[in-house]
Amino acid sequence: MSIGAKFRGKVVGGGKNWIFVNGRIRKVNRSSTKHLIKIEGGTHMSLKKTVAIAVAAGALAAISVPAMAFENEFHGMFRLRGIMSNYENAATGVLAASPKDRTTTVFEQRARLQYIAKASDDLKLVTHFEVDSSWGDTGGATGGRGLGGGVGADSVNLETKNVYLDFKIPSTPVNAKVGIQGFADAYKGIFLLDDIAAAVFSAKMDAATVTAGFSRLMDNGGYLAASTSPTGQKTADLYLLDGKFNVAKDTTVGASYYLLRNDYNYRTSDIHMLGLNAAAKLGPADLDAFFVFQTGELGTLAAKQKLTAWAGQVGAKVALGPGALRSQFLYASGDDGKNASKAKAFQSVNGFVGQSSSFYTAKMLLLMRNVYAMDSDKAIIGSTNNVNQGLMFFNLGYDAKFSDKLGATFNVGLAGVDKRNTVTASDSKFVGTELNAGVDYKLYSNLTAAFNAGYVILGDYYKQAAGVSKLANPYLTEVMLNYTF
């Protein structure tokens, strides 16, 4: 190796002495070798300095290990929503009473904070927390969900949304998510769309994807009656198996089996749900459809009902002009309640744990659940089950994108029940028609301002008896700021 050459390997003197200086090999006089030590890595320096540098490098490596081994990710959102409506105080589901004549105003906000501790692409812990507040809340209450918006503001209201471990099982194609996590069924959320405590395993094998899981939805039977049973004895559990297969580049088909078992008083209810779904792209159009069938038993040990119910949907989305035109038709069977031994109403998880199903793709503000709703989550039709009346729903919408910052949406929806099971002055099944529109504008790349307005023309389903005041048509306007990071 020549003098001045870049150092690239070990240097062994053949009767000569060399030193590594500023990245290059330098020749030194033999008389100076008593101050040098030859190291088979190419570096020549005093032993004391060598040890000191080695110790410092080792310490630096030790304290650097955590930063090198983990990635810390932070994400989140903030939404401020102001509402003006004559419907906000009305009941969810069947509109049993006229909304107040005077307009109500509500201001609510939501913040979500997500932290992900990522050890590798195959192992991470996902946490997601939420803080909801309504301005003014209940006069300054300071303890509980959705509070803290009153004067003084102090409140203990941090909610757990998700806490789960996401990892790949070594030497297999299986990914596992274990803990409290978000879940959406394969049918646009008409059965279950919510956060649940579950163990979900999925595997992608060539063109096929298979998912299996278990969730404990409720425990100890407390959602039906006060219970002194030990934890784990009276439960509501969900078992699921989903499969999806890419039959072509833009065509997929899928199938599912879900078992919802309400074990309060030992298998009070068993709901078996079988489903088929498909999606395809044909030219400028995206098409999708699904069909689900339910069977099993509902009720109590003393009074059982044989369940036979179904639901189906077809949808299409077509690129048109500066946006896309979309349409959907959804049907869910209902029950008139005349046969005590049979149940024909499509069952969603709502009947067990509250509002846990939706049809957000319809983009309704009042007829169906509003995707932007927070604590004020109210709709004329609150779930697919619709108080066992079932549902017939059609919507037509257009989403426009005029520029990178400006967008708009226009929607019309028509809803009716499949079977009436309430006594009113009319035998009509037509619930009403919603017209809504909205505009959104990006103030910054991650901050959007939006305004939406909706109005429902009630159908003859809500026709009142003679002498009873006519129900007012519900309306709602909302203005929002949405920030994401």
pLDDT band at 36 (very low <50, low <70, confident <90, very high): very low
Please give the Cα distance from 271 to 290 (Å, whole number).
19
The percent of residues in the chain predicted with pLDDT above 70, rounded, is 75
Beta pairing partners, 208: 205, 245
**pLDDT of 272 strictly over 50:** yes
| Per-residue confidence (pLDDT) for residue 432, from 0 to 100 | 95
| Domain spans in the chain, listed from the N-terminal domain onward | 1-68, 77-113+132-484
Q: What is the pLDDT of residue 35?
A: 43
Residues in Cβ contact with 223 at an 8 Å cutoff, skipping those fewer than 6 apart: 236, 352, 353
Q: pLDDT tens digits for 282-320?
A: 999 999 999 999 999 987 666 789 999 999 999 999 999
Residue 222 has pLDDT above 60, yes or no: no
Predicted confidence at residue 70, as pLDDT, reads: 81
**What class has domain 77-113+132-484?**
mainly beta
Q: Share the mean pLDDT of the chain.
A: 83
Is the confidence at residue 206, as pLDDT, over 70? yes
Those residues whose C-beta lies under 8 Å from the C-beta of residue 443, and which sit 6 or more positions away, are: 449
Contact of 106 with 82, CB cutoff 8 Å: yes
pLDDT band at 15 (very low <50, low <70, confident <90, very high): very low
- Does pLDDT of 17 surpass 70? no
Model confidence band, residue 11 (pLDDT cutoffs 50, 70, 90): very low
| Banded model confidence at residue 65, pLDDT cuts 50, 70, 90 | very low
Distance between CA atoms of residues 469 and 443, nearest Å:
45
Q: pTM for the complete prediction?
A: 0.80
Residue 82 reports pLDDT greater than 70: yes
Give Cα 455 to chain centroid, integer Å.
Answer: 27
Least confident of 40-54, 62-76, 364-378: 40-54
Q: Can you give the pLDDT at residue 167?
A: 97
